[in-house]
Copies of this chain bind each other. A is one copy, B any other.
Amino acid sequence: MAGHPTPEHIMQVGLGFWASKTLLSAIEMEVFTELARHPEDFASLRERLGLHERSARDFLDALVALGFLEREDGVYRNTQATDLFLDRRKPSYVGGILEMANHRLYPFWGGLTEGLRTGKLQNEARAGDLPFFEAIYADPARLKEFLAAMTGLSHGANRRIAECFPWEGRSSFVDVGTAQGDLAVQVALAHPHVRGTGFDLPEVGPVFEDYVDQNGLSGRLTFHPGDFFADELPRADVVMMGHILHDWNLDEKRRLIAAAHRALPPGGALVVYESIIDDDRRQNAFGLLMSLNMLIETPGGFDYTAADCMGWMRDAGFTETRAEHLVGPDSMVVGIR
């Protein structure tokens, strides 16, 4: 039977939600935040987490087998990665996005078949409840948590853009949909000659200003409140949009690219980045699945290839375009006016 196909990969992915939900429950129950205080043996960890004895050991050992915990002589501890990224008290915490995945996306993805058949989103907005972004923006504490989670998710790509984009000769930028402002902060930290603006809805202002202040950059980074469909973007040498374009339909994407074009001088650059799909649409599974997540979450959003994005940029009047891989599933597309 060697070399014959087996159903193992099918079963692994088909039942892959088991591993996924196990990690999400661990984050919800703050397993990693608890163990970041100190390693613990089974009995005390179980008690502190409030786990029923029936399945506590299977749960913790599954986290060991999945590579999220270590266990030695019966004592559980975080791995280097889970200690850094899943301890809620560290600024490097990325669990916010996964808390949201646990509470919202996991059940909403249960409607995927319906979404594929109808083309309609499957989240709160489907039942007429307050859509997610509005709910988040209405609650300052939740907004701050969400924006910080976005930072955790994009921090690696932000640092990479600060490193690899040619900032020489460019003295200003605007980061559109800036959230907490980590992209702005990373660029400003790496390039002392650059001043930047974070552009987002007014509610985001205090969160942006806090974060910028913590990083000692209040003199060089300012917040500009606005709605990028209603208001003109501030003028700058570089316009950046990270994890923004995919939320919107094709017409809205083109409007955002045109707004960037108007904000740039000749020679100015638009930098778009997110989990951009490979041009042949057969490698970046995460990008393609993210696009299905836009089906679940938005009325018309979708992810796209670098070739798609470069086409829209050229249609909007950009003269040169190029794409470059950043980290993990993320790439950037650059258009020069």
Query: Which A positions have Cβ atoms within 8 angstroms of B?
Result: 1, 5-25, 27-29, 50-59, 61-62, 64-68, 71, 79-82, 84-86, 94, 97-98, 101, 105-107, 109-110, 112-113, 115-119, 152-153, 156, 159, 277, 281-286, 288-289, 291-293, 295, 300, 302-303, 327-328
Q: How far is the CA of A169 from the CA of B107 in the complex (A)?
A: 54
Given A81-B6, A288-B65, A295-B54, answer yes or no on A109-B281 (Cβ-Cβ < 8 Å): no
For A55, give its contact among B14, B67, B116 (CB under 8 Å). B116
User: What B residues does A29 contact at CB under 8 A?
Assistant: 113, 116
The docked-state distance in angstroms from the alpha carbon of A50 to that of B113 is 11
Identify A16's interface contact among B11, B19, B64, B67, CB under 8 A.
B19
What residues of B have a CB within 8 angstroms of the CB of A56 in the complex?
Answer: 116
Given A15-B289, A16-B16, 5 other A-B residues pairs in contact with their CB atoms under 8 A:
A1-B159, A5-B80, A6-B156, A29-B113, A58-B302
Cβ of A55 to closest chain B Cβ, rounded Å: 4
A163, closest chain B residue (CB): B1
Cα(A65)–Cα(B286), bound, Å: 9
A106 contacts across to B, CB distance below 8 A = 17, 110
- A152: nearest chain-B partner, CB-CB: B7
**How far is A142 from B136 in the complex, measured between Cα atoms in Å?**
44
In the complex, chain B residues whose CB is within 8 Å of the CB of A292: 18, 22, 55, 58-59, 62
Give the chain B neighbours of A62 by CB distance below 8 A.
285, 288-289, 291-292
Interface of A is mostly: helix
**Hey, which chain B residues are within 8 Å of A81, CB to CB?**
5-7, 9-10
Q: Which residues of B contact A156 (CB under 8 A)?
A: 1, 6-7
Q: Are B7 and A85 in contact (CB under 8 A)?
A: yes
Q: Which residue of B lies closest to A51 (CB)?
A: B116
For A98, the chain B residues whose CB sits under 8 A away are 10-11, 14-15
Residue of B whose beta carbon sits closest to that of A65: B285
CA distance A265 to B169 in the complex (A): 88
State in angstroms the CA–CA spacing of A166 and B110 once bound together: 46
Q: List 30 A-B contacts (CB under 8 A).
A: A5-B80, A5-B85, A6-B81, A6-B156, A6-B327, A7-B85, A11-B97, A12-B286, A13-B23, A14-B27, A15-B101, A16-B16, A16-B17, A17-B20, A17-B105, A18-B293, A22-B112, A25-B113, A50-B117, A51-B116, A54-B119, A55-B115, A61-B281, A62-B291, A64-B282, A65-B281, A65-B282, A65-B284, A107-B107, A110-B110
Please, how many angstroms separate the alpha-carbon atoms of A110 and B102 in the complex? 8
- Min Cβ gap A111→B in Å is 9
Closest CB in chain B relative to A77 CB, distance in Å: 13
